[in-house]
Amino acid sequence: MPKKFSMTLATKKYNNNLMKNKYSTDGKVVHLSTEEDINQKLSKIIGKKFSDYRKSWDEANKFNLITKFPLFLHIELNQTCNYKCPHCIIGNPDEVEKLYNKNENLDFNDYKKIVDEGSKYNCPSLSAQGDNEPFLIKNMEEYIYYAHKKGFIDIMTNTNGSPINITRSKKILDSGLTRMRFSLDAFTDETYKKVRVGAIDLDKVKRNIFNFLDLKEKGGYKLPIVGVSFCKLKQNEHELDEFKNYWKDKVDLVTIQTFAPPTQNKSAYHEFYPEDQFYDDEVVDFKCNQPFQRIHIRNHEMFPCCYSLVMGDKGTENYKNFVIGNIKNMSIYDAWNGEKMKKLRQIQLDGKFKENPTCAMCVKYTFPTKKFIKSEEIRKN
């Protein structure tokens, strides 16, 4: 087994000591916390079953363990949002059309079926959020509570924070949610409005966050742990240090996300890369741990990772090759243990990610060289 894997590449880019503890679960999101490691904190709150699950997670991440069922189910119920962030697929409705099928969105029964199967295999963690705003679903708390009741021990979500009023906050606090992350992507309202188009004022979202934290404290809730997140872009990178400084004492963790273009279709997305995301040389020693952790489900289809958008539009050969199966006629268990997943994992273990065209593109776009981006711009223009 390799001692080191290249998912730390993104982590290297944000080597900043403002906050003490730093970790990354997939190389694309860096978590910074001021106090103890967040997972140690959760282990203390939730107990042995949580620390056991994290041990499995760490082993899977190091490619030492292939579990019989995914450790994490990433369930994208729909693609509905009240914001139109330009760096997100949702901010680009024409691209959404090419990739998703609204008629195939998941309802509560689909969700229950997924959760029930996960529960049967003691799946420990889940997120019912994808490229959407989860709390636009009026009874999202019931979705979360259902997973909690069925034994999931780590239930997480991101939110843009706009729907989180006092009533929703109270319901969320009682839902069994473990991790709640408010995506802000800006320190000033001026930048917020640029990177989160259609957003309510940053001050209002901050008020929602502080109300949530207040209710949590007054109610004596230990969970969820609360974070804020910042997707680092050319348009906001100048505010990153102020952002971290401001939030580090107010929330449990600050996360920095690595930008990846939402599709390959438009070179206009390239304007979002911050300067320090560019690599001098093409990344060749990458091994992806997501196929060892998770199954991502959207439009009833199952995928081996969260970043399947580079695979191409619906109907293309790349798209069809990357889909692992459909929950209408295949169990998650069978998808996870099937030939497609096995082959993809082997490719990662052998360091041959380039053999899969979607993985090859994912690496090229997530850890880009300027040369590659320029060549893509020429090709598209």
Ligand X SMILES: C[S@@+](CC[C@H](N)C(=O)[O-])C[C@H]1O[C@@H](n2cnc3c(N)ncnc32)[C@H](O)[C@@H]1O
Interacting residues toward ligand X by CB under 6 A = 81, 85, 87-88, 129, 131, 133, 158-160, 183, 185, 229, 231, 257, 259-260, 262
- Site residues for ligand SF4, 71-110, by CB under 6 A, read 81, 83-85, 88, 90-91
* Sheet strands side by side (includes 21-24): 21-24, 29-33, 253-258, 225-232, 179-183, 154-159, 125-127, 72-76, 294-298, 301-303, 325-326
How many alpha carbons fall within 13 Å on the CB side of residue 41? 16
CA 124 to chain centre: 17
- Site residues for ligand SF4, 146-185, by CB under 6 A, read 160
Least distance (Å) between residue 273 CB and ligand X: 10
Residue 156 CA to residue 203 CA, distance in Å, equals 24
Residues in the chain: 381
Residue 213 CA to residue 351 CA, distance in Å, equals 43
Least distance (Å) between residue 342 CB and ligand X: 28
Contact 164, 172 (CB under 8 A): yes
- Under DSSP, is residue 148 helix (H, G, I), strand (E, B) or coil? helix
Least distance (Å) between residue 134 CB and ligand SF4: 9
Q: Which is nearer to ligand X, 171 or 345 (CB)?
A: 171
Give the Å distances, CA to CA, from 210 to 119, 123, 228, 281, 282: 34, 32, 12, 43, 43
- Site residues for ligand SF4, 21-40, by CB under 6 A, read none
At 361, which amino acid appears?
M
Q: Which of ligand X, ligand SF4, none interacts with 129 (beta carbon under 5 to 8 A by kind)?
A: ligand X
Site string for ligand SF4, 185-204 (x = CB under 6 A): -----------x--------
Out of 26, 76, 95, 131, the residue judged to bind ligand SF4 by CB under 6 A = 131
Least distance (Å) between residue 229 CB and ligand X: 5
Residue 166 CA to residue 8 CA, distance in Å, equals 38
Q: Which is nearer to ligand X, 30 or 231 (CB)?
A: 231
Give the binding-site size for ligand SF4 (rule: CB under 6 A): 12
205 contributes a contact to ligand SF4 by CB under 6 A: no
Interface residues with ligand SF4 (CB under 6 A)? 81, 83-85, 88, 90-91, 131-133, 160, 196
